[in-house]
């Protein structure tokens, strides 16, 4: 198991749609283990494969640290392969979001309060999960990553403009980041 570097928001891999995972292989199982190591090392609650430069429709999540605050259900670590959100409630909620690919940047994002997601678990068994609260938000955020969408895309142009100085710090390598990353500029200089 390994901690892998996380790509930052300006990397084109985060703007591409991830490919479905067709079969359970030792490489996929290793990727899952590495993704959990990477997520926990960065104190994250979710991590999608594109965030480590892999275009597979898979993400890991563990929203339990967040649900302690709201006395929510405990689901533990989850692996969602080829997730598909099949229901979104009309009721929406606004919550602060951040992203391991956009370190130090947080903003309020409005999303459906409750969702239903169908997916394959780590053993490639079909699952259906109905959730609300933090886990629903994490699943929506990470599913967006699989579709090439960042939480910044849910913000107004004005709000993105307000965040531009923080984004520039990331671009220039001046942001303090407590975990391994691959900045686009670093990649270009190789």
- The DSSP result for the chain, as a single string, is --PPPEEPTT-GGGGSPPBPP-S--HHHHHHHHHHHHHHHHTT-SEEEGGGGT--BSEEEE--HHHHHHHT-----SEEEEEEEEEEE-S-EEEEEEEETTEEEEEEEEEEESEEEEEEE-TTS-EEEEEEEHHHHHHHHHHHHHHTT--GGGGS-HHHHHHTHHHHHHHHTT-S--SS-EE-HHHHHT-
Catalytic residue positions, numbered: 142
């Amino acid at each position: 198991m390994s901690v892998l570097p996380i790509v930052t928001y300006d990397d084109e891999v985060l703007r591409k749609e991830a490919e479905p995972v067709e079969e359970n292989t030792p490489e996929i199982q290793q990727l899952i283990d590495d993704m959990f190591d990477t997520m926990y090392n960065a104190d994250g609650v979710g991590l999608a494969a594109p965030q480590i430069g892999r275009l597979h429709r898979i993400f890991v999540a563990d929203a339990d640290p967040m649900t302690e605050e709201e006395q929510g259900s405990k689901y533990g670590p989850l692996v969602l392969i080829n997730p598909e959100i099949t229901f979104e409630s009309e009721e929406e909620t606004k919550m602060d979001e951040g992203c391991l690919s956009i370190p130090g940047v947080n903003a309020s994002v409005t999303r459906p309060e409750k969702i239903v997601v169908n997916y394959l678990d780590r053993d490639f068994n079909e699952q259906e999960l109905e959730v609300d609260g933090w886990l629903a938000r994490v699943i929506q955020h990470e599913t967006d990553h699989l579709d090439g969408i960042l939480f910044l895309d849910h913000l107004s142009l004005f709000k993105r403009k307000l965040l531009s100085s923080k984004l520039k710090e990331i671009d220039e390598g001046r942001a303090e980041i407590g975990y391994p990353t691959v900045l686009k500029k670093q990649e270009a200089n190789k």
